[in-house]
Amino acid sequence: METKFKNVLITGASSGIGEAMAQYYAASGTENLFICGRNKERLETVKQKCEKFGTKVYASLIDVTDKEKMRAWIIQSNKKAPLNLVLANAGVASLKEEDENIYNTFNTNVFGVLNTIQPAINLFAKRRGKSVKAIAMLSSIAGYHGLAGCPSYSASKACVKTYGEALRVYWAPKNIQVSVICPGFIRSRITEKNTCPMPFFMEADKAAHIIGRGLENNVGLIAFPWPMRFAVWLLSVLPNPISSYICSKLPYKV
């Protein structure tokens, strides 16, 4: 299926879902692809893979926690080709709940998302015409309910989920499409570190196709696989004593 997003920007594109989404859009007819990451070698490999489809790929070494560099990169990318989709994908796992890890998790998973979507929204809000304008941000199934096994991670993803759902309604009058992505366990550098059971584990390329189809159809909340989505939804609506008891029995990530 040919994509409606001709100019796409993706953060955290050097591995995992970000890498899979970059290749998905290159294969789907995206004309200009802007990707960033923190590992030069991996990012260059992704760039080369995507260029084989005839897509113009611009790769930049950027940390999403750097607010000013992110803003400048997004503005410059938009000047090269008016962006149609900005995917705030970059994220980290907390692992041990220690001070440095906790702050790093929130800085990347929350403020890194803000550093990505705010410059894009500001550009989209000023743009006239009927060009496609879409924002997508990566949350997680873990964002449905606070999990004792990964408090910082689930809290950071819950923030992204709630903010994205609200932004979708807020920016709808400006024809800005906002979607939140809540995947389960997907093959990535994050899940490689997990020691807990990972039910319904999915390869990144399969996840990319699910996400891609959802964004093409302007789905507001792309949460999968459905058994996990149902389970965490149920956990979120149960009385707190019951949900807390269930969470206390779940395995920790490390």
CATH of the domain at 111: 3.40.50.720
DSSP 5: -
Cβ–Cβ under 8 Å, residues 41 and 59: no
Dihedrals phi, psi of 130, to nearest 5 degrees: -105, 15
**Strands of the 85-88 sheet, one edge to the other:** 56-61, 32-37, 7-10, 85-88, 134-138, 177-183, 221-224
Taking the C-alpha atoms of residue 217 and residue 195, their distance in angstroms, rounded to an integer, is 35
DSSP 129: S
Is residue 163 a part of any domain in this protein? yes
Q: How many structural domains are present in the chain?
A: 1
Is residue 1 a part of any domain in this protein? no
pLDDT in tens, the chain (254 residues): 799 999 999 999 999 999 999 999 999 999 999 999 999 999 999 999 999 999 999 999 999 999 999 999 999 999 999 999 999 999 998 888 999 999 999 999 999 999 999 999 999 999 988 899 999 999 999 999 888 888 999 999 999 999 999 999 999 999 999 999 999 888 766 655 666 666 767 899 999 999 999 999 999 999 999 888 888 888 888 898 898 888 787 766 55
Q: Which tokens hold the place of 13? A: 């594109």
Is residue 50 a part of any domain in this protein? yes
Contacts of 193 (CB under 8 A, 6+ apart): 93, 95, 254
Is residue 119 a part of any domain in this protein? yes
Is residue 254 a part of any domain in this protein? no
Give the domain extent around 158: 7-249
Taking the C-alpha atoms of residue 199 and residue 52, their distance in angstroms, rounded to an integer, is 34
pLDDT, position 235: 86
Is residue 2 a part of any domain in this protein? no
